[in-house]
């Protein structure tokens, strides 16, 4: 593999967007027992918050996403990860809704995480950063929503790990959420996904440049390990059909195989590129911490005494679950399990499975039917909100 | 062959009503629902009835529909509908969670109508079931004279490939309800022209002249 490019993980203090100091009066009590605070959360907003503060949508990002949902991304130079979804006239219509993107706790785009400076030591946290959970991320986001003075979010939405946060929001703070849209997600992380995460983590830790987690102090970067972690994970986001259609067994810029270990095949070249561009924008310890957060996620265990239906008892949140036919990382069966549990609680739930051969990453893509359903669901929920008189609780409730 | 009127312009069904209107049998179903109640529509098609009930009676409505494209259409219009199978998924719903559970023009395609009827009245305080009455005189005549299975509306399905596997008459249906200790609270017939009339469930005449039946069920 060729050497990584010169770029370094961005200096997050120079990123555009808004940062806020939270947990000042009282620290955030993490699930692991440690207190955290004060701490910084970085976020971006799109559209305008209406006077009644009843049009706010919180977008929870996935494993390697961030707060830059739409428009030009200040680090990658590409469009934000959900530009197809967020904007004027799009499903999350910024002419109508106030859309909030927030870098989750432990992230590396400005919110406190392992790459940020620990005020207690004046050095990067590294692996001193506590092992956090999806619930901790949601508790931090809730402080942000309090800070913004929003009593009840019109919608919490997210795909994959973002969907887990949306679920946790709906269960943890049901009175603060009008609708929840968990996409391509599950009530808990499957054995298979824990297994893939472990492979990624071991790849990072096997890189000598990881330095036992102290690479920032040692002036090194475990680029190779992190790139391999990304390459492996990237395969799980796609599907065999999509990979085959895109690359087949085609060779990369050559007529014959080289009888060596250069990237002979296009698919190898593609994965190497994915790995290399990823290390420019992502921190290795962050990757360890947040895959761990995802492993620990088990909604029923945490909120329902092991019974998923119990977690939703009496909920008034309106749910819309969406899955994709070719997603083998979060297969439809996992969404259906959630639907059954929600039905058992007589909850208000919609569930659709979208036809797509693009695998788990479908949730990021411009699939017209998917967008139409989402925008229809939100419009219907907004009508309903008006009918119920939008009796939103205030932010300090 | 054996094509019973479907929901929302399903092949073989009566043409969908225009905006603000609704088919006669659906209108009859809707009339049986009290305003502001909780309603589950099993086999809700593209959600026309749910939409009508939401707009006209402000119900808290949910739908279950097996065909994905119809679920998508329903959710796109803002209705709360899940993709699922009535025969396997009704068991997930808690007992007595709804005021009405509606099974409109779906009974004939169900493998276990008896099990599903039991589930409807476990989940709902009332059930509203509508179906095509195969005791209708035209069907009887058709069988008598042509020696072939009745054709209700035509086109796609022969007897051997129809999804409609459990066809019954009003009398058959009432007999099953009796056997299951289910009370037929009200029974209506719908004639071919759309005229509706309340009838005694045991009426031989209704079983002869009603092409469709709509019944309100409950348990003592």
What is the predicted ipTM?
0.87
Q: Residue B77: closest CA among chain A residues belongs to which residue?
A: A376
Of residues B213 and A388, the one with the higher pLDDT is B213
Strands B98-104 and B124-132, sheet pairing: parallel
pLDDT digits (tens, 9 = 90+) for B160-170: 888 888 999 99
A12-189+297-387 maps to CATH 3.40.50.1820: yes
**pLDDT at A153 exceeding the cut of 60:** yes
Q: Is A355 in Cβ contact with B83 (below 8 Å)? A: no
CA dist., res. A282 & res. A204, Å (int): 12
Residue B74's CATH number: 3.40.50.150
Identify the pLDDT of residue B155: 55
Q: Which tokens in the block code for residue A72?
A: 């030009």
Q: What percent of chain A has pLDDT over 70?
A: 95
pLDDT at B19: 44
Distance CA A201, CA A285 (A): 9
- Would you call A346 and B98 a contact, using CB atoms and an 8 Å cutoff? yes
Identical topology for domains A12-189+297-387 and A193-293: no
* Residues spanned by the domain of B200: 24-218
pLDDT of B21: 73
Q: Is the peptide bond before A204 cis (omega within 30 degrees of 0)?
A: no
Half-sphere exposure of A288 (CA within 13 A, CB side): 22
CATH for A193-293 (1.10.4080.10, 2.40.50.140, 1.10.357.10, 1.10.1740.110): 1.10.1740.110
The pLDDT mean for chain A works out to 94
Q: Could you give the percent of chain A with pLDDT greater than 90?
A: 90
pLDDT at A187 over 70: yes
Mean pLDDT of A195-220: 97
> Is the predicted pLDDT of residue B16 greater than 50, yes or no?
no
What pLDDT does residue A297 have? 98
Average pLDDT of span B112-128: 97
pLDDT for residue A288 is more than 90? yes
Spans of all domains in chain A: 12-189+297-387, 193-293
- pLDDT at residue A397 in the model: 40
In this prediction, residues A117-128 reach a mean pLDDT of: 93
Give the mean pLDDT of B127-156: 86
A160 is catalytic: yes
The pLDDT assigned to B4 comes to 42
Q: In which element (H, E) is residue A201 found?
A: helix A191-206
The CA distance from B107 to B114, in Å, is 10
Residue A124 has pLDDT above 50, yes or no: yes
In a domain, B6, yes or no: no
Q: Is residue B19 part of a domain?
A: no
b/e A237-271 (16+ beta carbons within 10 angstroms → b):
bbbeebeeeebeeebeeeeeeeeeeebbbbbbbbb
Q: Above 90 in pLDDT, residue A393?
A: no
pLDDT reported for residue A7: 42
Under the banding of pLDDT at 50, 70 and 90, the label for residue A311 is very high
What would the mean pLDDT of A236-245 be, rounded to a whole number? 96
The alpha-carbon gap from A139 to the nearest alpha carbon of chain B, in Å, equals 28
CA A118 to chain centre: 24
Under a CB-based contact definition with an 8 Å cutoff, are residues A92 and A59 in contact? yes
Which pLDDT score, from 0 to 100, does residue A9 have? 54
Asked if A174 and A316 count as a contact pair (C-beta separation under 8 A), the reply is yes
Mean pLDDT for the stretch of residues A82-91: 98
In this model, does residue A8 exceed pLDDT 80?
A: no
Residue B12 inside a domain? The answer is: no
Segment 9-38 of chain B within 8 Å of chain A by CB: 38
pLDDT of A118 over the 60 cut: yes
CB contact under 8 A, A372 and B76: yes
pLDDT digits (tens, 9 = 90+) for A25-46: 999 999 999 999 899 999 999 9
Nearest Cα residue to B4 out of B95, B142, B131, B146: B131
pLDDT at B22: 81
C-alpha to C-alpha distance for A336 and A58, rounded to whole angstroms? 24
Active-site residue (options: A54, A66, A83, A160): A160
Q: What is the mean pLDDT of residues A342-370?
A: 97
Gyration radius of chain B's alpha carbons: 16
- Burial B174-207, CB ≥16 within 10 A → b, else e: beebeeeebbbebbbbbeeeeebeebebebeebb
Domain count along chain B: 1
A383/B89 Cβ within 8 A: no
Q: Within 10 Å of residue A147's Cβ, how many Cβ atoms?
A: 14
Q: When comparing pLDDT for A152 and B2, which is higher? A: A152
Question: Taking CB atoms and an 8 Å cutoff, what residues of chain B touch A349?
Answer: 62, 80, 82
Q: Is residue B71 part of a domain?
A: yes
């Amino acid at each position: 593999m060729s050497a990584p490019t010169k770029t370094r993980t961005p200096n997050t203090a120079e990123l555009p967007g808004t940062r806020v100091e939270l947990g000042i009066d009282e620290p955030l009590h993490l699930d692991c027992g440690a207190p955290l605070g004060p701490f910084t959360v970085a976020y971006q907003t799109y559209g305008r918050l209406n006077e009644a503060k009843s049009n706010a949508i919180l977008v929870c990002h996935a494993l390697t996403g961030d707060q830059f949902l739409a428009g030009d991304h200040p680090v990658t130079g590409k469009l934000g990860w959900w530009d197809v979804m967020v904007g004027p006239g799009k499903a999350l219509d910024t002419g109508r809704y106030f859309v909030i993107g927030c870098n989750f706790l432990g992230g590396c785009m400005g919110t406190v995480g392992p790459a940020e400076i620990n005020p207690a030591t004046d050095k990067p946290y590294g692996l001193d950063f506590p092992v956090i959970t999806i619930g901790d991320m949601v508790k931090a986001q809730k402080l942000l929503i309090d800070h913004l003075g929003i009593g009840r979010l019109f919608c919490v939405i997210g795909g994959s790990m973002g969907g887990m946060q949306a679920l946790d929001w709906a269960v943890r703070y049901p009175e603060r959420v009008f609708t929840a849209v968990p996409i391509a997600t599950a009530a808990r992380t499957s054995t298979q996904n824990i297994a893939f995460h472990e492979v990624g983590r071991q790849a990072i830790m096997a890189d000598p440049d990881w330095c036992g987690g102290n690479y920032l102090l040692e002036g090194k970067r475990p680029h190779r390990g992190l790139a391999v972690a990304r390459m492996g994970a990237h395969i799980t986001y796609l599907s065999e059909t999509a990979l085959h259609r895109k690359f087949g067994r085609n060779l990369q810029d050559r007529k014959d195989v080289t009888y060596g270990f250069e990237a002979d095949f296009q698919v190898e070249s593609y994965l190497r590129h994915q790995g290399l561009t990823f290390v420019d924008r992502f921190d290795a310890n962050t990757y360890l911490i947040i895959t761990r957060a995802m492993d620990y996620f088990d909604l029923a265990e945490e909120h329902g005494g092991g019974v998923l239906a119990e977690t939703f008892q009496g909920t008034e949140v309106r749910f819309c679950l969406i899955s994709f036919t070719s997603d083998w990382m979060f297969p439809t069966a996992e969404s259906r399990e959630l639907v059954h549990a929600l039905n058992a609680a007589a909850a208000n739930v919609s569930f659709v499975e979208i036809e797509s051969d693009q695998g788990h990453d479908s949730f990021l893509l411009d699939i017209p039917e998917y967008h139409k359903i989402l925008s229809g669901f939100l419009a219907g929920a907004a009508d309903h909100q008006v009918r119920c008189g939008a009796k939103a609780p205030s932010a300090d409730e | 062959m054996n094509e019973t009127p479907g929901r929302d312009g399903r092949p073989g069904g009566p043409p969908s009503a225009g905006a603000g209107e609704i088919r006669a049998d659906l209108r009859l179903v809707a009339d049986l629902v009290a305003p502001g109640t909780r309603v589950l529509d099993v086999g809700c098609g593209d959600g026309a009835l749910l939409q009508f009930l939401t707009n006209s009676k402000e119900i808290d409505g949910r739908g279950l529909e097996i065909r994905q494209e119809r679920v998508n259409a329903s959710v796109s219009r803002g209705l709360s509908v899940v993709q699922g199978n009535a025969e396997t998924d009704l068991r997930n719903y808690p007992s007595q969670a709804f005021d009405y559970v509606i099974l409109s023009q779906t009974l004939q395609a169900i493998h276990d109508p008896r099990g599903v009827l039991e589930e409807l009245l476990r989940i709902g305080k009332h059930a509203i079931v509508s179906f095509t009455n195969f005791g209708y005189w035209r069907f009887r005549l058709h069988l008598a004279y042509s020696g072939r299975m009745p054709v209700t509306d035509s086109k796609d399905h022969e007897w051997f490939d129809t999804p409609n596997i459990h066809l019954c008459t009003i009398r058959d249906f009432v007999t099953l309800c009796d056997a299951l200790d289910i009370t037929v609270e009200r029974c209506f017939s719908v004639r071919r022209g759309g005229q509706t009339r309340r009838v005694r469930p045991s009426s031989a005449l209704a079983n002869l002249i009603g092409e469709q039946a709509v019944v309100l069920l409950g348990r003592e």
